[in-house]
Amino acid sequence: MRIDIMTLFPDAIEAMMGQSIIGRARDRGFIRLYTHQIREYTTNKQMQVDDYPYGGGRGAVMQADPLYRCWEHVCGEVGERPYTIYMSPCGRTFTQEVAKELKAAHENILLVCGHYEGVDQRFIDECVDEELSMGDFVLTGGEIPAMAVADCLFRMEEGVLPEESCYTDESHWNGLLEYPQYSRPEQWHGRKVPAILLSGNHGGVDDWRRKESYKRTMARRPDLWARFDQSAIKTKHDKKILQQAKDEFAAQQENEE
């Protein structure tokens, strides 16, 4: 998979994305990540990329022309028009399901990072395929959202993580939150690791993890739980685990009241 990022701060993205798992995967050729400095595509000595908004108001708007020149250059490098996403609080919310959709549908993705009061709508109308938001809040620029999207997509690419379960067992993949995790020592500040995790009973561990995933989702994200398709749980054993989770969650709620 190839992801290009149009930005005013390529060094910031390179510093972050060049580290750890994503950085190693890039060095080994499992993924391709390229950053593009929008200022290099201006036509003035000041390398100006913004100007006052028509109609008045505070701040500045990124101009369509340098964005378009940069976008054209990326299209030429990729060899085709990449699926172009503008990181914007006005877009649809980015979720794991959206990530799966993008990963399945597009081999080449271009992420556009806005700044100031946003970008000229004409560039969006002509070049952008979709706008994505990280949630109901506003940041000073699109770099953090773009890195989040790139990281989420890249970690699903073959070779980036040791095996597929490294991301399919995590929060949101199946519509649930992940179960609690523990490591050494067995006891810390008087808090013990759940005995089942020390038992060597792999089936019991799997059941415990599934049950805790249900309970955590019910407690922390009732909106996710409401959308979770319980009818997909077919076997008697799995239904039993689900019922145990519901009973334990209900008992916990009663104790807290």
Report the binding-site residues for S-adenosyl-L-methionine.
114, 134-139
The CA distance from 115 to 126, in Å, is 19
- Alpha-carbon distance 169 to 182, whole Å? 15
Q: Helix (H) and strand (E) counts for the chain?
A: 10, 9
Strands 191-192 and 187-188: antiparallel
Determine contact, residues 33/24, Cβ cutoff 8 Å.
no
Annotated binding-site residues read: 114, 134-139
d(CA 177, CA 180): 9
Partners of 110 in the beta sheet? Answer: 4, 84
Q: Strand locations in the chain, DSSP E?
A: 2-7, 32-37, 50-51, 61-62, 83-93, 108-113, 130-133, 187-188, 191-192
Cα–Cα distance between 149 and 144 in angstroms, integer? Answer: 9
